[in-house]
């Protein structure tokens, strides 16, 4: 029994051959051609799962040595940590719009680029990044048209119920003191949300006062950013001059251009 794979951007299928035919690469090309035309007589078509697709790509990625161009270490070259929204539109847009490459920054993502708790995983990651991973600046980047600005906690819980989460479970969580509605709530205004998150970071009891925290909002279509909070301005003049002298600020030029 022979096995072939069709590699396309959005559709992967696996074929198990039941008869004789071309060999090696020729067989693969024939399978691909027949699949496109719906002429796979004598073959059993078995759709590949998403996990199988990723694993197949990973195998080729490693074997080809493509990983070599991504080599770096755990310390961000720009000494910058970014808290960004997990929106799929920003996956490649954000780093390309800001001129960032693999190894430049520590990237933390969640829904809305929010910090919900001073001792949660996001704030912990930022503190660790500053003290252990040589991060000297933090940037919060949200975006226009964010799903968290329209999220309805009641609707989310209704969907959870449809997916098998019992009302008893939800009531138990509420009785235990968990405010599900507030936990699921997003924000009404993205600008206000970014400013609040930056202030949350800046005033955290474990965050050094010499770490500038910036707040940006990105257009998810064009990648254009607006600076809402220039973290350098919140620092004392003495600290700011020291950072500038050391060449630390990664976004200084962008901030100055925006201010002008």
In a domain, 129, yes or no: yes
Beta 2-7 vs 43-47: how paired, if at all?
unpaired
Answer left, alpha or beta for residue 145, where phi above 0 means left and psi between -120 and 50 means alpha. Answer: left
**pLDDT value of position 35:** 59
In a domain, 235, yes or no: yes
Q: Which helix (H) or strand (E) holds 91?
A: helix 90-97
Domain hosting residue 143, numbered range: 74-149+186-259
In a domain, 7, yes or no: yes
Question: Helix 167-175 and helix 153-162: axis angle, to 10°?
Answer: 130
Predicted TM-score (pTM) of the model is 0.75
Q: Are residues 18 and 123 in the same domain?
A: no
Q: Are residues 8 and 132 in the same domain?
A: no
Provide DSSP, 142-189: EESS-GGGS--HHHHHHHHHHTT--HHHHHHHHHTT--HHHHH---S-
Q: Are residues 138 and 208 in the same domain?
A: yes
Residue ending a domain, among 52, 69, 86, is 69
Q: Are residues 211 and 236 in the same domain?
A: yes
How are strands ordered across the β-sheet holding 213-218?
A: 105-110, 80-85, 137-143, 213-218, 225-229
Tens digits of residue pLDDT in 63-120? 999 999 999 999 999 999 999 999 999 999 999 999 999 999 999 999 999 999 999 9
Q: Are residues 22 and 131 in the same domain?
A: no
For the cut 70, the answer to whether the pLDDT of residue 28 exceeds it is: no
CA distance 139 to 212: 8
Q: Are 156 and 183 in contact (CB under 8 A)?
A: no
**pLDDT value of position 249:** 57
Q: Are residues 206 and 128 in the same domain?
A: yes
Q: Are residues 61 and 84 in the same domain?
A: no
Q: Are residues 205 and 140 in the same domain?
A: yes
Kindly provide the residue ranges of all beta strands, DSSP E only, lying in the chain, ordered along the sequence: 2-7, 12-17, 43-47, 80-85, 105-110, 137-143, 213-218, 225-229
Q: Are residues 223 and 123 in the same domain?
A: yes
The domain tally of the chain equals: 2
- Phi, psi of 222, rounded to the nearest 5 degrees: -100, -20
Tens digits of residue pLDDT in 203-228? 999 999 999 999 999 999 999 999 99
- Beta bridge mates, 30: none
Structure tokens at 51: 């996990």
Which band of pLDDT confidence, cut at 50, 70 and 90, is reported for residue 150? confident
């Amino acid at each position: 029994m022979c096995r072939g794979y069709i590699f396309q951007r959005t559709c992967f299928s696996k074929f198990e051959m039941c008869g004789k035919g071309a060999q090696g690469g020729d067989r693969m090309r024939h399978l691909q051609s027949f699949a496109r035309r719906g002429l796979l007589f004598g073959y059993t078509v078995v759709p590949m799962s998403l996990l199988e697709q990723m694993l197949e790509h990973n195998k080729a990625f490693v074997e080809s040595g493509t990983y070599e161009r991504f080599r770096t270490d755990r310390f961000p070259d720009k000494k910058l940590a970014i808290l960004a929204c997990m929106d799929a539109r920003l996956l490649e847009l954000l780093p390309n719009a800001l001129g960032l490459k693999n190894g430049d920054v520590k990237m933390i993502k969640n829904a809305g680029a929010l910090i919900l708790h001073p001792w949660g995983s996001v704030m912990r990651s930022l503190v660790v990044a500053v003290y252990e991973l040589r991060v000297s600046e933090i940037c919060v980047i949200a975006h226009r048209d964010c799903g968290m600005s329209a999220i309805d906690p009641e609707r989310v819980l209704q969907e959870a119920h449809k997916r098998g989460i019992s009302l008893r479970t939800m009531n138990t969580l509420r009785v235990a003191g968990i405010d599900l509605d507030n936990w699921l709530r997003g924000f009404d205004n993205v600008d206000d949300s970014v400013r609040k998150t930056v202030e949350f970071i800046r005033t955290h009891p474990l965050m050094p006062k010499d770490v500038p925290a910036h707040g940006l909002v990105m257009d998810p279509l064009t990648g254009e950013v607006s600076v809402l909070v220039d973290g350098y301005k919140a620092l004392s003049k003495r600290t700011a001059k020291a950072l500038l002298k050391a060449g630390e600020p990664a976004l200084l030029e962008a901030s100055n251009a925006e201010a002008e």
